[in-house]
Chains A and B, each alone.
Chain A
Amino acid sequence: MVENIQIFQEYDAILARQRGREMAKQLGFSLVDQTRIAISISELARNILIYAGEGEVEIRMIESSGHKTGLEIRASDKGPGISDLEMALTDGYTSSGGLGMGLPGTKRLMDDFEIRSDVGKGTSITIRKWLSS
């Protein structure tokens, strides 16, 4: 189960979070977890639109070595990148007059949060949520 959504405009960000919610539901995630996942996808996809203009969101089912099932989302773009990751992950920090909640909030909602960014090359953020069985 893999889904690739190209992010060019607002509707794509909405579509991505809807697909994420549907996949999470299919995998048996609770309504609260589905919502945690949908919010996170929404934040990452909107960041792509605001800061990079375009990019993609990939959502896939994964399995851990311990046979746990999870959902992995990778949001990547070839935008300007982030020079100070620590700053970007601070509650309330924004370079665009936003709320500055997207990245730190997403990190709180997910089980795993990995970010790679190269200034001038782009940003790739991978998040995971595991099904607790």
Chain B
Amino acid sequence: MIIHHPLLGPRDSAEFIYLGDASLMERPDPKAENAQELFYKYLYLRDNPAGEHKELWYHEQGDRSWLILTRNTVTHEITHVELARRSK
């Protein structure tokens, strides 16, 4: 797979480390009433869709930036790439 890095252009996916669903960016509030329940869901439960998936990739052997890819988990087609820090 080729990942089109927003700053560095086309890069081999082997340069990256995969973390998982991009919703991991939204860490629950540890002070919330139901923090235990929220963290259980955050840590363990996943949508795991067949089709479009927003996910976190870390450019370890490159500029060490975190990217958010929109990738199809059936075809591996990547339709969108953005820097994670810009996504907010």
Partners in one complex: no
Q: Which residues of A line the B interface, CB within 8 A?
A: none
Q: Which residues of B line the A interface, CB within 8 A?
A: none
